Structure 1
Amino acid sequence: MQVFDKIISDRGSRYAVSGGTARNRDEVAAFIAELKRNKRFAKATHNTWAAILGGEPVKDDDGEAGAGALMLQMLERAGLQDHVVVVTRWYGGKHLGGDRFRHVADALRHYLRETGLGN
């Protein structure tokens, strides 16, 4: 599990990105459970995730409507399979509108760049 915390801050909202190997939904669930063992992540407003498991795209917006679909699109472009990526957001009290999608994309780009997993 790789975690990059406090990578984006905007109007009080803060973002982190995490990821690791996952070959099926059970491994995704175990990854999310492990991440949430850290109370900070357990108390986050959103832990949005996406993965392509054996060629099957799966996601969970965790209340951040549309974010999982954006993440899947980016994972497909990067050719990243059997790997789950989680973008965590702590809501800061002000709505971000469309900027929240930019932050999700920037967080995922950060993960791909820092891990060397992107094409």
Structure 2
Amino acid sequence: MRILENIISDRGSRYAVSGGPCTSEEEARAFLKDLKRAKKFAKATHNTWAVLLGDVPLKNDDGESGAGMVILRMLEREGLRDHIVVVTRWYGGKHLGGDRFRHVQDAVRLYLDARTTEESGGKPV
């Protein structure tokens, strides 16, 4: 499990992104359960996630309407299968409007870039 914390902050809301291998719906549930063992993730306002199991899409908005689809589309474009990505948001008291989707995209991009860098032996690609 890779977790990138405190990656985005806007009007009091804070974001983190995490992910790891996932080959079934049961593994997705187990991943979320493991993530929420950390009290701060359990208390987060939203833990939005998506995974492509082969060609079968699974997603959950966790109250952040539409955010799961944003993650799913990015995974599809990247061709990343059998890997769950979770974007966590701690609500800061002010509505972000459409900016929340940009923040979800930015969080997923940071995760995918970190993953690519690690796979290339730490060298930027």
The question of a shared fold, defined as TM-score above 0.5 by the shorter chain, is answered with yes
- 1:72-97 Cα offsets, whole Å, 9 max, x none, are 11000000000000000000000000
Q: What SS does the corresponding residue of 1:16 show, helix, strand or coil?
A: strand
* Aligned structure 1 segments of 4 or more residues deviating by more than 6 angstroms: none
The structure with the larger Rg is 2
Q: Partner residue of 2:49?
A: 49
- 1:38-76 Cα offsets, whole Å, 9 max, x none, are 000000000000000121011000000000011111000
Q: Partner residue of 1:86?
A: 86
Number of equivalenced pairs = 118
Matched, 1:35 2:35: yes
Q: Partner residue of 1:74?
A: 74
Task: State the alpha-carbon separation in 2 of the partners of residues 43 and 32 from structure 1.
Answer: 13
Give the letter for the 2:72 counterpart. Answer: L
Q: Partner residue of 1:26?
A: 26
Task: State the alpha-carbon separation in 1 of the partners of residues 7 and 54 from structure 2.
Answer: 30
Q: How big is the alpha-carbon RMSD for the aligned residues of Structure 1 and Structure 2?
A: 1.1
Give the unaligned 5+ runs of structure 2.
120-125
TM-score normalized with structure 1 length: 0.97
Task: State the alpha-carbon separation in 2 of the partners of residues 10 and 69 from structure 1.
Answer: 21
Identity %: 66
Give the letter for the 2:67 counterpart. Answer: A
Q: Partner residue of 1:4?
A: 4
Give the unaligned 5+ runs of structure 1.
none
